[in-house]
Structure 1
Amino acid sequence: MNTTDFNHQLSLNQNALESFAFKFTQDYEDANDLVQDTLLKAMRYSRKFRDGTNFRGWLYTIMKNTFINSYRRGVKTRSFIATHEEIPVSQLQNSATGNFGENKFMLEDIHNAMKKLQPEYLTPFIKYFEGFKYHEISEMLHVPIGTVKTRIHMARGILKKNLKMYTKEFAGNGY
């Protein structure tokens, strides 16, 4: 598809994109921003569109992914601010004066514990840790949502067992 045809298709689908964006945002200004971001990304990645595929579906996918990524960024930012406000000053001082060598060993232990996980447990656990919802992981891995929940639960249990030396009851005893 040449640039003129591509731009024509964009303009033909703009109204549909605006309605679709409003369903996500429930706010006209946010919906307009989402449409703008979607159109910019569509133009930037126009080479990735394949002739013969559903153009509107491709645009909807870009919009959905843009909205999800924006939402995740917002949640992470809000949770960071909320968490930061809840940390007592004494605890901040303790974490700031921690030994970097200890942190390195702890990180190595975490990596080693994760290496011990079987791939069917590791993959959904990593996806969940990255911020994906159970249903999204289910769709990505083509397994039932119950299986995803079970595998994440099992991964947590295995990691807890392999990292038990870092629990509070052991930390106080010099382990």
Structure 2
Amino acid sequence: MDTAKSEQRAGEFATRYRAWLLAQAHNLCRNATDAEDLVQDALLRFIQTFGQLEALPNERSCEAWLVTTLTHLFYDQCRRRRVQAQGAKDPHLSNEVVVEHEPDARPVYDTLTDAQFSEALQTLSPKIRATFELHASGKKYQDIARSLGIPVGTVSKRLHDARARLREFLLRHIQSGVN
């Protein structure tokens, strides 16, 4: 097995999918700098993981691996920031003098769990859920329409409905947790 050629193949695949992965990362974190960092980490892990193999798995498997790894890295980043924010607020964990300021408003969706989001997805009709999941996996409206055999306008409507229903369901969870 030629390790250099394997790493080159993995590197070429990573380079080909970099822009697509960057769009996925930007959808997750809504910050260009953080998205770039996430993509770099995901691609590095991809090359480290698949660079030693004689042949890469099929493209779908590689795409899925990249998106899953990117998502896990994003969750890790969120957890790190939460721990850092909590550590900075606890004067016993910091050597600095802490000046109390008005706390920043915490995004209400930060309180949701993966299980609650999965439960919310299950409330969608199968057609709307399938459309939403394709879009969440990075597919463009035209590609979704083509794969489901529906007009692009129907894709737009289904995604609008999915977002509205998810928002409504998740807000009930948030509000019931506050009360």
- Could you say which structure has the greater relative contact order, defined with CA pairs below 8 angstroms and 6 or more residues apart? 2
Higher Cα radius of gyration: 1
TM-score category, normalised to shorter length: 0.3 to 0.5
TM-score by length of 2: 0.44
